[in-house]
Each structure stands twice: as C-alpha cells, then as structure tokens.
Amino acid sequence: MYAKKLGLTRTGMLEVYILIIFHELLNFFIRLLVRPKGEKFDLLLVRTDGIGDYIIWLDSLRAYKEAFKDKKVLLVCSKATLDIAKLDPFFTKIVPLDRGQFLKVTYWYSFVKKIRQYAFDYAIAPAFSRSYVSDSVISVIRSKRRVGFHGDCLNMSRWQKYYMECFYTQLINTPLERLPEIDINAYFVRTLFSQDFQAQLPAFPVLPISCSYVEGNYCVFFLSTNNLFHAWSVDRFVKIAMELVDKYKIILLGYGKIDQDLSDAFMCLSGNNGQIINKVNKTSFLETAQIVSHASLVIGNDTGGIHLATSLCVPSLAIVSGAHPGRFLPYPSRFSSLFYFPHIVFHQMDCFGCDYRCSRPMKQVYECIDSVNVESVRKELLSLLNCLK
C-alpha cells in the first residue's frame, strides 16, 4: 500500500529501501565519528515538512514561545519554509534542509557535520505524520531529551516508523479521536508543557514592506498540489476564472515546472485574456505572500496556498479530496464565523479517509477530485462572494 501511495513499483520501493539501509549505515558511522562541539541550545525544533503543514503549525508555536521565552532555540526546517522561519525572531539559529538532496551521501554528511556542532537540552519533532527525514535528524543529534509523536504511517512504512522510534526518549500518544491538524498540534503542546493551550487559526509572521503588489481588485489562483493526482483540472479552473474576470484580475502564482506547465495551459485555454496575469516562477515566496495578503480572494487545490491565505486573513476557496477529510481542510467549524474561514468543495464518496491509498481505478487524477464539477465550485464561489459583500 505504501508503494501505491508513492506511485512506485515494487522495484522502485526496493531501491528506496536499499537507499534507506545505506543511509542508516552512514548515520551509524556519523554518530561514532562526528562529535559535537561547544555551542549549546536549550531547544531544537525539527519541522521539515512543506509550506502548508508549517503554516498550520505556526499556531502552536505560540506555546513554544511561552515555554522557551528568552532561551536559545535552533530550528531545522525544509528549504521551502526557510523564508517564513526567517521572519520570526524566536529562532536563535535556523538550519535549512533540502529534502530533495536528503538521500545524497555528500549532502547529508555536510548537513550532519553542521548540526552535530551543537548540543541540545531538548529536541522536539512535533509532526503527527512523522517522516524519515525528520526522524533522521533526531537520530544524529545529541540531546538529553528527544520528543516526538507516535503518530501514523502516512509518510513512512510501518517498519521504518518502528525502527526510527528507538531514537526518541519520549513519544506522545496518538489522540483517541480523529482531530484536525491544528488541534493535533495543540494536543501535542498541551501534553508536553502548556496544559491550557487552545488552538486558533494560524497567523503569518509580519511581512516586510515590499514593492511587490498588483493594483486593483484581484483573485489569486494556485493550480497545482504536491501531487498531480490530487489536482483539479486546469480547464475547470479556467471556467471558474471566467466567472470573475469582469470584476477581478486573475493572478496565477506558484513555483516549479509543474506550475509553469499548468499556468501556460491556463493562459492558452483562457485566450490570453488581458485580465489574467501569470506570475508563476516570477516571485519569491515572500513576494507571493505579499500578493496574497492584498488579494480579494484565493482559489486553489488543497495546498499550501490556501493555508497561506488563511494565515494572512484572506478569504479562500479550495477543491479538496476525500483522502483525510477534516484533518487539514476544512478547519474546525468553531472558526466558521471568521470572514476568511476557507470555503471548501468536495465530492462525497464512501471511501473517504483513505489517506491517498486509493482503492479506485486510477485515471489522471483521483476519482474524488475528478468528480468535483464546475457547477458545485461555482455555487460555493457565489456563496463566498455573497459573504464578502
């Protein structure tokens, strides 16, 4: 099932497992040979996931700031979230990790030499769906306490997860009930050191003053996701955009080749309408955040762009799958009175909750995404626009 989730053949998974075994042998020798130097930190936080997960986690970061006020804190984050982390003065030092280079021996050795310069009183990897990347960081650092979540096997096979747990000194038990991600994060910090902590919607750090802006009223579109199997089709996004061009400019944002290909297709299908501006691969992440912060609304798949909009108090609409309903989107209904509470559209199916281990015959996208029609999105969009009047 894990191979199917990753879209790999059995041979492909075997190659991954061989790499991981080699990686663990390397880690063993690193722990023997690379000794920590003098600098000591009170806390190490390991948060190596993507932009959306990191933004959701920003809310529970309030508890760490209270518990470790005026302490030395080092953050290991993914390269993708480095710009966000740099905005927060809470972190004494930030060490980015490129997940795409992670399994390369020379890169990993260089990273470990850097992180093993330091010693820590406390090391915390707070992600519920732990990954081999974050667990590997925990396995090579020197710390009195190394804390994580028992969590699930969404990002690792079961044998990987059980093996990596031996490097933790404490694992927080999984909540008995299925919770939204922001409540999972709150549960974690309440169990550790902040018993009265209550989750709120995430708030993005204060953005620096920037000249990156778009004049007038506009709507931002994020067309891709971290996996194209999760992505609503471009031609349907174009139909939704055509509903808006009389009142709003349409701004396309994103990064990488997939986003570029999708945005080029969008421009072609829309007839290169003058109201549509393609800024894919033309902005830094902070410039993207600046543009989103002044948008009238944001539309996209279940991706980091929607969580970015929420953290910047910008209304949004997301097309979501049934892989893990209620975990990332929608946010808990107790926040629904907020004007920027994200609106979502989905197609209900009896297989909801599959964690992307899809049991249906695969087409270009998952059936639950492909079954979301334009009319249902149009209807929710009208509801959102009425709320904004």
CA atoms of 125 and 135, how far apart (whole Å): 8
Distance CA(287)–CA(68), nearest Å, equals 31
Alpha-carbon gap, residue 365 to 113, rounded angstroms: 41
Identify the pLDDT of residue 12: 52
> Do 216-386 and 1-205 have the same topology in CATH?
yes
Torsion angle, alpha carbons of 85, 91, 92, 93, to 10: -40
The strand pair at 218-222 and 249-253 is best described as parallel
Burial of 11 (C-beta count, 10 Å sphere; 0-12/13-18/19+) = exposed
Burial of 245 (0-12, 13-18, 19+ CB in 10 A): middle
Supply the pTM of this predicted model: 0.90
Does 355 have pLDDT greater than 80? no
Structure tokens at 362: 């695969």
What residue type is assigned to position 170 of the chain?
Answer: Q
Residue 5 has pLDDT above 60, yes or no: no
Topology classification of domain 1-205: Rossmann fold (3.40.50)
Average pLDDT over residues 219-229: 88
Q: Is the Cβ–Cβ distance between 115 and 132 less than 8 Å? A: no
pLDDT tens for residues 358-374? 777 777 788 888 889 99
pLDDT, one tens digit per residue, over 84-112 is: 999 999 999 999 999 989 888 889 888 98
Instruction: Determine the Cα–Cα distance for residues 151 and 129; give it in Å rounded to an integer.
Output: 5
Give the mean model confidence (pLDDT) for residues 174-196.
93
Phi (first) and psi of residue 103, to 5 degrees: -85, 0
Distance CA 41, CA 163 (A): 27
User: In the sheet where 218-222 sits, what is the strand order?
Assistant: 276-278, 249-253, 218-222, 297-301, 316-319, 343-345
Q: Do 227 and 218 form a contact (C-beta atoms < 8 A)?
A: no
For residue 7, name the pLDDT band (cuts at 50, 70, 90): very low
Domain segments of the chain as ranges: 1-205, 216-386
CATH of domain 216-386: 3.40.50.2000
Q: Is 71 exposed, middle or buried (0-12, 13-18, 19+ CB in 10 A)?
A: middle
Q: What is the pLDDT of residues 120-136, one digit of tens each?
A: 999 999 999 999 899 99
State both tokens at 1.
């099932």
DSSP label at residue 176: S
What mean pLDDT is predicted for residues 285-308? 95
Eight-class DSSP state of 335 = G
pLDDT tens digits for range 299-317 = 999 889 999 999 999 999 9
Distances (CA, A) of 72 to 120, 141, 143, 309, 377: 9, 16, 14, 30, 47
Q: Which two tokens stand for residue 370?
A: 């492909």
| pLDDT-based confidence at residue 385 (cuts at 50, 70, 90) | very high
For position 15, what pLDDT does the model report? 58
CA–CA separation, 80 vs 256, rounded Å? Answer: 12
Residue 113: the pLDDT is 85
In single-letter form, the type of residue at position 262 comes to L
Long-range contacts of 311-314 (CB under 8 A, 24+ apart): 311/55, 311/58, 311/201, 311/202, 311/203, 311/204, 312/204, 313/339, 313/340, 314/340
